[in-house]
């Protein structure tokens, strides 16, 4: 495999969605599972963009629900790789909601997803590393190793 070094920004994914009636519970609040599904899709796009391979979800850490998104709100989902390990990638996903009619943006939730890239036989494959550039990317890169070590110990 040719070693190609990319930055986290090269695979950053930003999705925009509208909250429809089918996405909500009887109170008109988006269902948690729908939020996680959207986060998972954004992370998959980021992982596959970086690795050039099909990538699958290996784990999701604690998902925090801060501000509810409601029927008619506009969601913005952002996914960005924080670190590549051997065959896995940690990706940070964030969701914001814009409430109508004031259009103020609120943080809805965030989580860290781990994805694994697969070869043609559905076996994990080595992934090219990332090089963090910004101060925040460098901090996320460092903290990703701490999160991984905490999970494996």
- Provide the CATH number for the domain formed by 8-152 in this structure: 3.10.129.10
Residue spans per domain, the chain? 8-152
User: How confident is the model at residue 18, as a pLDDT?
Assistant: 97
pTM value > 0.85: yes
Question: Is the pLDDT at 1 greater than 70, yes or no?
Answer: no
Which residue in the block uniquely carries the two structure tokens 């609120």?
106
Q: What percent of the chain has pLDDT over 90?
A: 84
pLDDT in tens, 43-78: 999 999 999 999 999 999 989 899 999 999 999 999
d(CA 116, CA 90): 9
* Contact by Cβ (8 Å): 109, 63: yes
């Amino acid at each position: 495999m040719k070693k190609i070094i990319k930055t986290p920004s090269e695979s950053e994914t930003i999705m925009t969605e509208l909250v429809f009636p089918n996405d909500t519970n009887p109170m008109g609040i988006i269902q948690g599972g729908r939020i996680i599904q959207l986060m998972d899709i954004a992370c998959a796009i980021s992982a596959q963009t970086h690795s050039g391979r099909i990538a699958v979800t290996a784990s999701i850490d604690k998902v925090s629900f801060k501000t509810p998104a409601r029927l008619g709100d506009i969601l913005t989902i952002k996914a960005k790789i924080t670190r590549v390990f051997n065959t896995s990638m940690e990706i940070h996903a964030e969701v914001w909601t814009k409430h109508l009619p004031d259009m103020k943006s609120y943080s809805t939730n965030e989580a860290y997803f781990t994805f694994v890239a697969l070869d043609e036989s559905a076996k994990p494959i080595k992934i090219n590393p990332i090089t963090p550039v910004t101060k925040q990317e460098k901090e996320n890169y460092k903290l990703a190793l701490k999160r991984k070590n905490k999970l494996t110990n």
